Chain A
Amino acid sequence: MLKYAVKRVAMGLLSIFIVATLTFFLMNMVPGGPFVAEKSISQEAQAALAAKYGLDKPIMQRYATYMTDFLKGDMGVSLRQRGRTVSGIIFSKFPVSARLAGIAVLIALLLGIPLGCLSAYNRGKLADNTIIVFTTCGIAIPSFISSVLLLYFFGSKLNILPTVGLNSLASYIMPVTALAIYPTAYITRLMRSSLLDVMGQDYIRTAKAKGLANFKIIFKHALRNAVLPVITYVGPMLAGLMTGSFVVEKIFTIPGLGREFVSSIVNRDYTMVMGTTIILATLIITANVIVDILYKVIDPRINLK
């Protein structure tokens, strides 16, 4: 187990290194730069800015500098948000996105797993069909539509929920709902198909032949086996949501990491692009390690090597 953990951490670090390297070179290969688009700045000023941030140096030298600084824990200063460090921006914005994502995923799990079970248990009946219709909508409707609809009905028409920011508990309702719709629908469907698959397994027939009651068969014998695909899905999804949703944060004016992510790319804020990408990669890799360990806890057949 310890050997496994060490190996996974080493592999994770290697993955992060590769992601950082690829991002660095790809980003610099794209024509343009952080100061190029600003017409108001003169050529001399652009050159001076580039020199100030070291952008006039050869790319290999910049790469070496960035990586050594990064190893020391310095992700540099933002090229476009003057005077702010990348880590400062990430540390102030990340908790906001992470909190929203955490609540959304919790809701998705708490609703999705029971709904999926209910759906599978009543296969072909009214409850199942209703759930299928709603989950299909939930998967098909993009978040910018659901966000706008929520905003229109609850924020504007009924005027019962705040529409901007995250200043009160009530203001969490709409963004969390908008974030949770897709994962809830997805988990419901995943849980349904997985449970139906497990219910057809031989060991469920064995459980039935022992004389166990239906709820015991589902909760003891089926659920533990059926929940594995859900866990596989939830890990990376949580990581993705924690780095913020651009659409939801933009629509509800939430100061989260998702907006920084997108605007840093649009603005060619090289250091911010690197910072946010590395954070996302780290989160996804961490989530996957946690998923693997959870797998081992749930299914003893899995051998962590």
Chain B
Amino acid sequence: MKEKLLEIKDERLSFFTPAGEVKALNGVSFSLEEGEVLGIVGESGSGKSVTAYSIMGLTAFPGKLIGGTIRFNGHQVDQMTEKDFRKMRGNEVSIIFQDPMTSLNPVYTIGNQIEEVIKLHTNKTAAEAHDRARELLELVGINEPEKRLRQYPHELSGGMRQRVMIAIALACEPKLLIADEPTTALDVTIQAQILELMQELREKLGMSIIMITHDLGVVASMCERIAVMYAGHIVEYGTTDEIFYHPSHEYTKGLIKSIPQLNAQEIERLVPIEGQPVDLMNPPAGCPFAPRCDSCMKICLSKMPPETVLSDTHYTRCWLRQKEAMEKGAGTDE
């Protein structure tokens, strides 16, 4: 078996705000192999971005890792200092943000911003960095790269800017690329182009990708595995097929039901998930989804469900599945 590129075990992270402790991550575990594409889906505040940011040490100020371990590319990330992180960021792990319109510094040229990261992590001279930057722009499919290098971000369209962000992220050939809703702020046609580009680059360069999104269409087309997050827990984890064809958690089912169906025979209303996301300052004792769950049982309100293993690659945290598994006599990992 290959060495895992990323291994997160029981990660717990809280934001210590003046109003109290916000429990953003409550025991998140998953791993990623080299070249693998993982999608993390969930609604706003479910902890998907926080999970990814913590790998790079980018968790914003009141956030603090309070438990668990993160191993990435041979580093013990949870023990790293800011200085160690600086060597790793942009080099071994890179990130693309949601809004390309605001993610580039408006007062520096595209060339300056790409070359900056190259010069920071390699020993290349200014001329070599410039050549590399031009090469990167070609790689991400930007025409007239020499001209673009001299342009400012405001002279480029949103899709182009996201390509530039990807070029910056790939400049030092990272092992892992984190894409934090990379297409949310873009037009639908541009979204498809960017996703296609990311697919292509992944095949060419072989890096792993963590794709954070709330768009199930995006994960379906890109990812091999999917983690569904809710209230700081991974409530279901499996291959893309398993998640889409055999959703096991009531929340995952709800998410899939809320996708518009193109082949629907008659005009159907989309099915929303009723209720509000949980208050992470006072998370419920039991399953966090219980208050919104149609099939909620008594035990759901008092105890957090354990992981129910459904296949080698598929598990969920739901008392319903646990009950079924116990009735079938199958073992659990508890």
Contact = CB atoms under 8 A, between A and B. Distances in A.
B152 A206 contact: no
Interface size class of B (residues with CB under 8 A): 20 to 34
A208 interface: yes
Given A203-B106, A301-B152, 19 more contacts: A201-B102, A202-B103, A203-B105, A206-B104, A206-B105, A206-B168, A208-B89, A210-B89, A210-B90, A211-B88, A211-B90, A211-B91, A211-B120, A225-B105, A225-B107, A300-B106, A300-B107, A300-B152, A301-B106
Contacts of B214: none
Contacts of A84: none
B135 interface: no
Interface in A203-217: 203, 205-213
B58 A210 contact: no
Nearest to A204: B105
B121 to A, nearest CB: 7
B116 interface: yes
A201 B105 CA distance: 9
Contacts of B108: 220-221
Interface of A: 201-203, 205-213, 220-221, 224-225, 298-301
A225 B106 CA distance: 8
B154 A209 contact: no
Contacts of B165: 206
10 smallest A-B Cβ distances: which pairs? A211-B89, A210-B90, A211-B90, A202-B102, A203-B105, A210-B117, A300-B152, A202-B103, A301-B154, A211-B86
Contacts of A221: 105, 108
Interface stretch (B36-44, B92-100, B303-311, B323-331): B92-100
A296 to B, nearest CB: 11
A209 B90 contact: yes
A213 B117 CA distance: 12
B107 A212 contact: no
A205 B117 contact: no
Contacts of A220: 108
B257 interface: no
A213 B86 contact: yes
Nearest to B100: A202
Nearest to B94: A209
A205 B152 CA distance: 18
28 contacts: A202-B99, A202-B102, A202-B103, A203-B102, A203-B105, A203-B106, A205-B103, A206-B103, A206-B105, A206-B165, A209-B90, A209-B95, A210-B116, A210-B117, A210-B168, A211-B85, A211-B90, A212-B116, A221-B105, A225-B105, A225-B106, A225-B107, A298-B107, A299-B107, A300-B106, A300-B152, A301-B107, A301-B152
A143 B150 CA distance: 48
Contacts of A212: 86, 90, 116, 120
A299 B106 contact: yes
Given A202-B97, A300-B152, A300-B154, A209 B106 contact: no
B132 to A, nearest CB: 15
B56 interface: yes
Nearest to A212: B120
Contacts of B75: none
Contacts of B86: 211-213
A209 B107 contact: no
Interface string B99-131: 100111111100000001100110000000000
